[in-house]
Amino acid sequence: MESENTNNANENVVVFENVTVRYGTHTALEDISIKIRNGLFITIVGPNGGGKTTFLKLILGLLEPTSGIVNVFGEKPLKNLSQSIGYVPQIKTFDRSFPALPIELVATGLTGSWITILSKAQKKLALEALDQVGATNLAKKPLGKLSGGELQRIFLARSIIRKPKLLLLDEPASGIDVAGEMDFNNILEEYKKRQNATIIMITHDWESAYHHSDFVLLLNRVIICYDKPNKAFSEKWLRIAFGHLGHAHDMIFGVKNNA
Amino acid sequence: MLEILSMSFMQRALVAGLLVGFLGSYFGVFIVQRKMSFLGDGLAHAAFGGIALGLLLETEPMWIAVPFTLVISLAITYIKDKTNLEMDTSIGIFFALSVALGIIFISLRKHYTTDAFTYMFGSILSVNNSDLIISSLLVIITIILSLKYWKKWAYATFDPELAKADKLNTKFDDYLLSALISIAIVISIKLVGIVLIASFLVIPAASARLLSSTYFKMTVLSVIFGLSSSLAGLFLSYYLDLPSGATIILIQAIIFFVAISLKK
């Protein structure tokens, strides 16, 4: 499946060719083919267990496909691409009791390992990244005392400290209030414009996906639809992806679109 | 003060106490923060199986205990890695298996001896030069590896998925950490005993956690607590004529309660 903007293959940041991933007898992704062009804000939407995180893990090189080819910036993701990719994981997986300050967590985005004592240069870059997400005031607040929204900003700062061309986010809005989520998405859009970066974000928030993304990838083991938000969020595709239309659809959009 | 420092057994005990204090408190920061406090007990009891086998084979028990415990620690990590079982479940299985094997090995001995049970409580005052050489070597290896691996272990302790995303080989790093912890435990057993070894791995690190805002500070503080409690405990045990291992742990516990009161 290819978006209308992927004519120039050189501009494709992520390419999946007939990718299948199986965990034992369970098929997480089946025969996925997609080209994601540079400079787009993509949201991945789909039911739980639909293969969204598996999709990101393939891009990160944390998983190898059972069959098929994954290319990121024209290379296999297992090669050292971490300088070009920023990653914001789900915050619910983190141990909040870990003794760390936000500024040092942000600096790990530079080093790819934990830090003993921050150098002046690392501190400067970490503060700049925190400034970009409006979180300079949180630099030395213990990690365990941050709210969900604050913590997510810290992880975003960490992921953009190296100014990556590709930013991957796994449900960054979970645990954040509506205002916080809007701020967060605005920061992402601003970053995309400034760096001409590609953003791929898993979200369960259809409204956020509808308003902020250039393309929506509806995923449920296979690609249900990869299109602009007003087309992807149609009754036809949502029913195929989720098996139902979902209350959220009516609440958010007020109308039931037909594909 | 100078009087006890002139006694050779006390000199050896002080060096041994510092070495064990360092190893326990250093690895303790990973054990506590990875919520593997049960690991110290588990591996110490695994070592009991190895010691019993060594006694059965009538060889130096430590030479059997080291590889035996190493294999058990790698098996614990392997089970955690390959199954959905939590670490504590994996430790619990091998803990019981090793003790059961130890009991069987001892029962197979033709003549009864109390050797196996001297390892239960250890004796830091009876360490010999070869114990010190082995412990010193391990400390040197630990320090050398730490220069490279502390940052990786710390990162994977914070979040293994994030560490993997940054292309760290967390599997290898975890196995290496498990192997070093198991060797440290076996070496420490002769000095402080199977029953008490877990405290060396947990109490200094837990106290340090209460007073630290960063993981590096926690590591440094834990080592300071580990070393100072060993020194203070040994001196106190000498002057009050108390068992050395237990006195060290009392000092560790006092530091822990002071840390709790300071935290409040």
Find which of A108, A114, A170, A171 to mutate to test the B interface (most B CBs within 10 Å of its CB). A114
The whole-chain average pLDDT of chain B stands at 86
The answer on A256 and A145 residing in a single domain is no
A89 falls within a domain? no
Q: How far is CA A60 from CA A65, A227, B205, in A?
A: 12, 23, 34
- The last residue of one of the domains, among A115, A134, A163, is A163
Least confident of A45-54, A233-242, B251-260: A233-242
Q: Say whether both A249 and A174 belong to one domain.
A: yes
Percentages of chain A per state (helix, strand, coil), in multiples of 5: 40, 25, 35
Residue A30, in any domain of the structure: yes
Q: How close B39 gets to chain A, by Cα (Å)?
A: 19
Of all helices (H) and strands (E), which one includes residue A188?
helix A178-195
Determine which of B214, B216, B263 to mutate to test the interface with A (most A C-beta atoms within 10 Å): B214
Same domain, A110 and A198: no
Query: What percentage of chain A reaches a pLDDT higher than 70?
Result: 85
Mean of the pLDDT values across residues B200-207? Answer: 95
A87–B162 CB contact, under 8 Å: yes
CATH hierarchy code of domain B2-256: 1.10.3470.10
Query: Where a domain ends, among A163, A182, A197?
Result: A163
A70 inside domain: yes
Please provide residue A6's backbone torsions phi and psi, each rounded to the nearest 5 degrees: -110, 40
Residues B180-199: tens digit of each pLDDT: 888 888 888 877 888 788 88
> In whole angstroms, what is the distance from residue B72 CA to residue B84 CA?
18
- Residue in chain A closest to B164 (alpha carbons) equals A62
**At A47, which CATH number?**
3.40.50.300
Q: Convert the pLDDT of each residue in B2-49 to its tens digit.
A: 677 777 888 888 888 898 899 999 999 999 999 888 888 888 888 888
Closest C-alpha among B55, B64, B60, B40 to residue B193: B40
Q: Give yes or no for B30 touching A (CB within 8 A).
A: no
For chain A, give the mean pLDDT: 83
A137 lies in the same domain as A60: no
Q: Give the number of other CB atoms < 10 A from CB of residue A48.
A: 8
Most A-contacting residue of B87, B148, B162, B218 (CB-CB within 10 A), to test interface: B162
Helices (H), A35-167: 52-60, 102-111, 120-132, 148-160
How far off is chain A from B31, nearest CA to CA, in Å? 12
Q: How near does any CA of chain A get to the CA of B158, in Å?
A: 6
Instruction: Based on the fold, state whether residues A132 and A205 are members of the same structural domain.
Output: no
A93 in B contact zone (CB under 8 Å): yes
Residues A196 and A247 in one domain: yes
Of A108, A142, A163, the one marking the end of a domain is: A163
Task: Report the C-alpha gap between A106 and A127 in whole angstroms.
Answer: 9
- Whether A253 is covered by a domain: the verdict is yes
Give contacts of A142 with chain B, Cβ < 8 Å: 213
CB contact set of A248 (below 8 Å; sequence gap of 6+):
A206, A207
Q: Are A215 and A239 within one domain?
A: yes
Interface of A with B in 13-72 (CB under 8 A): 60-62
pLDDT in the model for residue A255: 46
Distances (CA, A) of B72 to A123, B25, B79, B181: 42, 22, 10, 12
Chain A: give the shortest CA distance to residue B211, in Å. Answer: 10
Predicted ipTM of the assembly:
0.79
* Cα–Cα nearest to A140, from A111, A99, A172: A99
Does position A9 have pLDDT exceeding 80, yes or no?
no
Is A150 found in the same domain as A101? yes
To test the contact with chain A by mutation, choose from B26, B35, B153, B216 the residue with the greatest count of A C-beta atoms within 10 A, namely B216
DSSP three-state, residue A126: helix
| Residue B212 pLDDT exceeds 60 | yes
Answer yes or no: do A174 and A245 share one domain: yes
Question: DSSP per residue over B32-94, as a string?
Answer: HHTT-THHHHHHHHHHHHHHHHHHHTTS-HHHHHHHHHHHHHHHHHHHHHHSS--HHHHHHHH
- Count structural domains, chain A: 2
Backbone phi, psi, residue A165, to 5°: -85, -15
For residue range B116-133, list pLDDT tens digits in order: 667 777 777 667 787 788
Provide the pLDDT for residue A58.
Answer: 93
> Residue B165 is nearest to which of A62, A99, A114, comparing CB atoms?
A62
- Which stretches within B109-212 are classed as H helix? 115-121, 129-158, 160-165, 170-192, 197-211
Please check whether residues A182 and A244 belong to one and the same domain. Answer: yes
- What b/e sequence results for A89-113 when a residue is b if at least 16 CB atoms lie within 10 Å of its CB, and e otherwise? bbbeebeeebbbbbbbbbbbbbbbb
Could you tell me which chain B residue has the CA closest to the CA of A97? Answer: B33
Residue labelled with tokens 């360092």:
B22
Q: What is the C-alpha separation between A44 and A39, in angstroms, rounded?
A: 16
Range of the domain at A152: 94-163
What is the distance between the alpha carbons of residues A96 and A133, in angstroms, rounded to a whole number?
Answer: 21
Distances (CA, A) of B212 to B29, B128, B154, B201, B249: 11, 36, 15, 17, 21
Residues A151 and A171 reside in one and the same domain: no
- Does residue A28 contact residue A184 with C-beta atoms inside 8 Å? no
Whether B165 and A94 lie within 8 Å, measured CB to CB: no
**Inter-chain contacts counted by CB atoms under 8 A, chains A and B:** 73
d(CA B49, CA B96): 10
Tell if the CB–CB gap between A82 and B165 is shorter than 8 Å: yes
User: Nearest-CA residue of chain A relative to B32?
Assistant: A98
Looking at the fold, whether A133 and A102 belong to one and the same domain comes out as: yes
Does the distance separating the beta carbons of A93 and B161 come in below 8 Å? yes
The whole-angstrom separation of Cα A12 and Cα A161 is 23
Q: Which is nearest to A240 in space by CA: A54, A50, A53, A52?
A: A50
